[in-house]
């Protein structure tokens, strides 16, 4: 039975509400009853304003925003809840939470289609995705609680919830301690819905679990939020359009007592429409129980199949007794299936039937052989305790040091950063006044203005002496001589373009006897700031060119030999020739440099170094461990070369991680054909390993509890514990 009884196409919207302790998620689902498609068109997380106290109002705000944004009216809802909200004894939602869910549906005028528990939905999702019965521990993490569900062969055999502390592994150990003391837990753990799953999964992998819990280290998988949402949507789709006898969905949010009261008040109306509640589940469980009982009777008759150590109650191997490896090789099997003596040349219907039976037996044998030979594979990862040896080794002999020389040409260019002023000097004509005797002013004689602008004579100048005359009254009149000359400013700049009739004093002359004046305004003085190549620019380009030479030389040596390593501290670079495009302080925007250098490399053979280090470290290698070059990391921390003798000495930091010795051939022979649960003693006691992880690959789940018979199908990996 589905939600929709009409055969015509109908679009309907349903809201899925996910409730945690302090927050929730709203899923808007679009259902097409004709195409039987369900599409998640919106997903919104919302925080509880006051835990569950104001949950009704929080949900009302969520629904309002969804309806407003999508222009729809929501009439139906489904709930997804966490395990700690459900009473594990009664299997029903705790009354306090149940009342809130009822109030939500009533206040928001919603029809409740029921609720589903996260772990049940995800268990079914994983089984359908992997196409095999689920054998795993499902771990559910919410802010107040941690829940664990143990599935074996698709059946939930144990579950419990504890208050969450700061230590997840301690919480899980508390749950596991409440299970059957003889319970061996599945070596697969699936976690979901925590804010820090990566960190928590790492804690589980590195935790030292009690030996009686796991037969091998648990493998941790994480379901991300997208996978969880996909599981919820697919499960709801299955309930609407799939088989009606689902055992996961269709739970009423009311507890038993409340349901009985409503059933008395109502007729045949359920709070949940569209699903058969309870009956089909019981039928399925009864059928499964009967099947398991039949298999137990077969095993008790043959007494051949070895029981797994510390088996869970009501939990059995998935492989029937008639196909177990111990049974196939037993005398009981051979006695029962002796090949009859058949004379195929004699006629008769009886012989033909026997011949057909023999042919069928052969075909079955070939099929079983093919299954085991081609399709039954396993990977056994054996873990050992990691040992680390660290030592600084001084090497002065025994290691051959080679050298190689090559010529490298490189170019570099940088923008200049220096600056200076350039321009022309002002010049002009002056008149020298002389009130004394004749005098010669030499070229370069300085003349200075009142504001200390200095000029010099361009040429030697002879100033005639002054003329003296006696007047009628007997006075002596002196007439100064006037001599023209050219002068030039001592510096560049426009400030030397002085005006006409500017007085200048003459160097080392009495200003009352000798002085000069400009005959015109001076011109030609100019100045501007330009970029130049500074000393810092030369230092910078030298550094850059050396860096390029180093990189080029390293790349060249790597191409020559991948087996040899450069001793970087000993690399020598000698500049043979260098050409700069400019001089220091010369005007330039770009400075270029071309260099030809001779580079000498010193290198060693890595394998030879590893051989030396093995000899130094082998005395510290524990028993049952071995050390080879692949397990050693070496780093040169000091290297020196004697300039006179050319001898090289160096100190090497060596870190060795010895590998545990396991005879893989013997291990394959020891475990082949064994039940997966029975190899713990072989791996730990016989081969002294610290742990192991087993992965069996087969398209037939019925044989996944056994290790392949053929050793070629067993892959052995020896790895350190991390």
> Residue 267 has what pLDDT?
38
**Residue 720 in tokens:** 């350190």
Kindly list the averaged pLDDT for each block of 10 residues, start to end, along the chain of length 722. 44 86 85 84 86 82 88 87 77 78 85 82 86 87 85 85 84 81 77 69 76 76 82 79 47 46 39 32 39 39 33 36 41 41 51 82 86 88 90 91 87 90 93 91 94 95 86 79 94 93 91 91 92 91 87 76 76 88 88 89 88 91 90 91 89 92 91 88 87 84 85 92 75
> Residue 333 has what pLDDT?
39
> Residue 286 has what pLDDT?
43
For residues 164 and 175, the answer to whether their CB atoms sit within 8 Å is no
Q: How far lies 717's CA from each of 679, 694, 695, 714, in Å? A: 15, 10, 11, 10
Tens-digit pLDDT profile for residues 138-155 = 988 877 888 888 888 888
Tens-digit pLDDT profile for residues 195-224 = 566 677 777 777 777 777 776 777 888 888
The residue among 194, 160, 158, 148 whose CA lies nearest residue 20 is 194
> d(Cα 103, Cα 276) in Å, to the nearest integer?
24
**Residue 540 in tokens:** 């910078």
> Residue 247 has what pLDDT?
38
For residues 703 and 367, the answer to whether their CB atoms sit within 8 Å is no
> d(Cα 463, Cα 480) in Å, to the nearest integer?
10
pTM equals: 0.39
In sequence order, what are the beta bridge partners of 155? 152
Domains located in the chain, CATH noted: 120-224 (3.30.420.40), 403-418+531-605 (no CATH), 427-524 (2.40.30)
> d(Cα 55, Cα 18) in Å, to the nearest integer?
12
Q: Which run of H or E residues covers position 225? A: helix 225-241
> Residue 691 has what pLDDT?
86
> d(Cα 566, Cα 580) in Å, to the nearest integer?
31
**Residue 557 in tokens:** 């040596």
Counts of helices then strands in the chain (DSSP H, E)? 15, 34
The residue among 604, 605, 424 whose CA lies nearest residue 525 is 424
Beta strand 446-448 with 476-479 is unpaired
The residue among 316, 280, 278 whose CA lies nearest residue 296 is 316
Number of residues assigned to the chain: 722
SS3 category, 315: coil
> Residue 195 has what pLDDT?
56
């Amino acid at each position: 039975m589905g939600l929709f009884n009409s055969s015509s196409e109908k679009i309907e919207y349903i809201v899925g509400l996910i409730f945690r302790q302090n927050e929730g998620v709203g899923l808007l689902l679009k259902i097409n009853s004709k195409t039987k498609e369900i599409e998640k068109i919106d997903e919104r997380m919302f925080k509880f304003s006051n835990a569950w106290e104001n949950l009704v109002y929080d949900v009302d705000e969520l629904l309002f925003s969804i309806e407003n944004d999508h222009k729809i009216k929501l009439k139906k809802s489904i709930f997804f809840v966490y395990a700690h909200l459900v009473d594990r004894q009664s299997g029903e939602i705790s009354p306090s939470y149940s009342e809130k869910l009822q109030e939500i549906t009533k206040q928001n005028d919603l029809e409740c289609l029921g609720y589903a528990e996260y772990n049940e939905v995800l268990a079914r999702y994983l089984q359908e995705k992997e196409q095999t019965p689920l054998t795993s521990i499902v771990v559910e993490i919410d802010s107040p609680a941690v829940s664990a569900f143990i599935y074996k062969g698709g059946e939930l055999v144990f579950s419990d919830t504890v208050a969450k502390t700061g230590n997840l592994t301690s919480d899980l150990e508390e749950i596991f301690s409440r299970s059957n003391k003889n319970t061996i837990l599945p070596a697969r753990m699936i976690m979901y819905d925590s804010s820090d799953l990566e960190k928590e999964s790492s804690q589980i992998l590195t935790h030292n679990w009690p030996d009686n819990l796991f037969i091998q280290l648990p493998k941790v998988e994480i379901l991300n939020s997208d996978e969880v949402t996909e599981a919820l949507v697919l499960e709801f789709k299955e309930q609407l359009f799939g088989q009606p006898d689902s055992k996961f969905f269709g739970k009423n949010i009311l507890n038993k007592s409340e349901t009985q009261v409503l059933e008395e008040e109502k007729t045949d109306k359920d709070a949940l429409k569209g699903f058969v509640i309870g009956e089909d589940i019981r039928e399925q469980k009864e059928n499964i129980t009967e099947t398991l009982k039949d298999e137990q009777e077969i095993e008790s008759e043959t007494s051949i199949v070895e029981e797994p150590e510390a088996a869970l109650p009501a939990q059995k191997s998935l492989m029937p007794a008639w196909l177990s490896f111990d049974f196939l090789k037993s005398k009981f099997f051979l006695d029962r299936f002796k090949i009859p003596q058949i004379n195929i040349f004699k006629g008769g219907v009886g012989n033909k039937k026997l011949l057909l039976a023999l042919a069928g037996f052969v075909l079955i044998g070939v099929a079983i052989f093919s299954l085991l030979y081609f399709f039954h594979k396993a990977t056994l990862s054996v873990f050992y305790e990691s040992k680390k040896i660290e030592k600084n080794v001084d090497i002065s002999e025994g290691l051959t040091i080679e050298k190689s020389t090559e010529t490298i040409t490189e170019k570099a260019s940088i923008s200049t950063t220096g600056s200076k002023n350039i321009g022309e000097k002002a010049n002009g004509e002056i008149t020298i006044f002389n009130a004394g005797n004749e005098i010669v002013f030499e070229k370069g004689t300085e003349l200075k203005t009142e504001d200390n602008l200095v000029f010099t004579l361009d040429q030697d100048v002879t100033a005639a002496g002054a003329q003296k005359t006696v007047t009628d009254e007997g006075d002596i009149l002196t007439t100064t001589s006037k001599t023209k000359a050219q002068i030039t400013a001592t510096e560049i700049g426009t400030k030397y373009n002085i005006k006409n009739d500017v007085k200048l004093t003459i160097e080392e002359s009495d200003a009352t006897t000798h002085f000069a004046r400009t005959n015109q305004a001076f011109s030609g003085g100019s100045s501007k700031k330009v970029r130049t190549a500074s000393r810092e620019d030369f230092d910078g380009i030298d550094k850059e060119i050396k860096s390029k030479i180093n990189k080029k030389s390293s790349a060249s040596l790597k191409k020559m030999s991948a087996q040899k390593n450069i001793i970087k501290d000993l690399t020598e670079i000698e500049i043979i020739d260098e050409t700069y495009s400019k001089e220091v302080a010369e005007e330039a925007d770009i400075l270029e440099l071309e260099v030809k250098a001779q580079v000498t490399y010193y290198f060693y053979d890595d394998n030879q170094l590893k051989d030396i280090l093995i000899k130094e470290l082998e005395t510290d290698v524990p028993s049952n461990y071995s050390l080879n070059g692949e397990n050693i990391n070496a780093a040169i921390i000091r290297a020196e070369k004697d300039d006179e003798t050319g001898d090289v000495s160096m100190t090497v930091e060596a870190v060795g991680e010895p590998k545990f010795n396991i005879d893989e051939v013997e291990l394959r022979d020891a475990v082949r054909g064994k039940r997966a649960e029975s190899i713990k003693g072989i791996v730990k006691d016989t081969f002294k390993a610290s742990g192991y992880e087993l992965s069996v690959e087969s398209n037939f789940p019925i044989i996944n509890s056994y290790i392949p018979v053929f050793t070629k199908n067993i892959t052995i990996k020896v790895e350190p514990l991390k």
